[in-house]
Amino acid sequence: MRLIPTLPLALLALLPVATASPWSALEGSSTSCGGWAAALGAAFGAPATGVSSARQEPAPAPKDDAPVKKPSVQDISSKSKADLLGEALLEAHGGAEALEKFTSLQFTVTPVELRPLPQAPGSDEPVQYEEVRKAPIHFQSSFSGADRSLRMDEDVEVNGREHTTTKIVTITEAVTEVYLLLDGQKRTVVAESRDSIIADITTLAGQFDILIGLGTRQLRGAYDGPARRGGVEYETVVAQFFGGINSDKLYRLYLNPTTHLVDRYDLYDANSQRLTSKLEISGYAPYEGLQLPSTLLFRNRQSEPLMRWEFSDYLVNAEIDPERFTVE
């Protein structure tokens, strides 16, 4: 995988000059307040154990955790291929008009933790996984340009009693505000909790940021060549947000050769240039002209499955009371 150039010319490798680029305007497991994102993050860095899933999952991708090389503009080739990929990606996920109108999203997601079952020493049998379903999470987000308002409500057990935690993050160019409520009552957010809340909510929201970025022209990217995964020959694009809370990530998108939807993506840390996780998307369905997934599978960098998210109750572009994102 190659890092995308920071020069505006890199954007010419994606879409024809005659069309508006979908990439940018530069064209010329939840555990209460501790956070399931933190748990996933710890697992992403765990050492490989050499196991594979017995579930009907796509074949593990090759290990790909070496540093990636940043190319020069001359490294970006096959402009016509990139043009076609960019157009196909935009149209497959809803088209320019639908994405430009994409201003709010609500859904319910049920996390399903995948716990490996013990094996006999020396066994060559595929690892079996126990599925542990967590409490559903209710998510709301509204966005305008780079500004974001995000909220997630989750039922958790605290000291043997059921409670509802609410995490709210509002993002503007000037500041990121973070709030935590327990049963509707505001709680103090210390620095460590703040980082955990941001990680939780942006990990959940991040699955839809590619669509938002396409609609708001806040992505830049480059064609990254073919790659075979799970028996499918994909074409890949590396994308990055410029500005905002997700600008520290690189998304290597795998475009399905038939549907042109994003079937999977690898997530890299933009600073260390290291692979952090692998995600697989399935069950797309149309909502208000947009293609949204029904399931998403997390794997660590060794391709071991960690958690599956099951999405339901989508509402697209429905009006959300702004007070849902304010805390007195």
Ordered structural domains, the chain, with CATH: 8-47+67-119+133-325 (2.50.20.10)
pLDDT tens digits along 215-226 = 666 777 788 889
Q: Tell me the range of 49-58, 68-77, 177-186 where mean pLDDT is highest.
A: 177-186
Nearest 5°: the CA angle 313, 180, 248 is: 80
- C-alpha distances in Å from residue 279, one per residue of 15, 120, 232, 251, 275: 26, 29, 15, 10, 12
CA angle 283, 288, 291 (to 5 degrees): 30
**Predicted pLDDT at 81:** 67
Report the C-alpha gap between 136 and 133 in whole angstroms.
Answer: 9
Q: Is the pLDDT of residue 112 over 60?
A: yes
pLDDT tens track for 141-182: 998 877 889 999 999 888 889 999 999 999 887 788 999 999
Give mean pLDDT, residues 12-16: 33
| Averaged pLDDT of the chain | 77
C-beta atoms surrounding 11 within 10 Å? 25
Q: What is the pTM of this model?
A: 0.75
Q: Residue 324: CB partners within 8 Å, gap ≥ 6?
A: 140, 151
The tens digit of pLDDT for each residue in 219-276 reads: 777 888 899 998 999 999 888 877 666 778 888 999 999 999 999 999 998 888 899 9
Residue 101, classified by CB atoms within 10 Å of its CB into exposed (0-12), middle (13-18) or buried (19+), is middle
Q: What span, in angstroms and rounded, lies between the C-alpha atoms of 271 and 144?
A: 27
Q: How far is CA 15 from the centre of its chain?
A: 23
Q: At what angle do helices 191-216 and 36-44 cross, to 10 degrees?
A: 80
Segment of 86-90, 112-116, 156-160, 250-254 carrying the highest mean pLDDT: 112-116
Are 324 and 153 within 8 A, CB to CB?
Answer: no
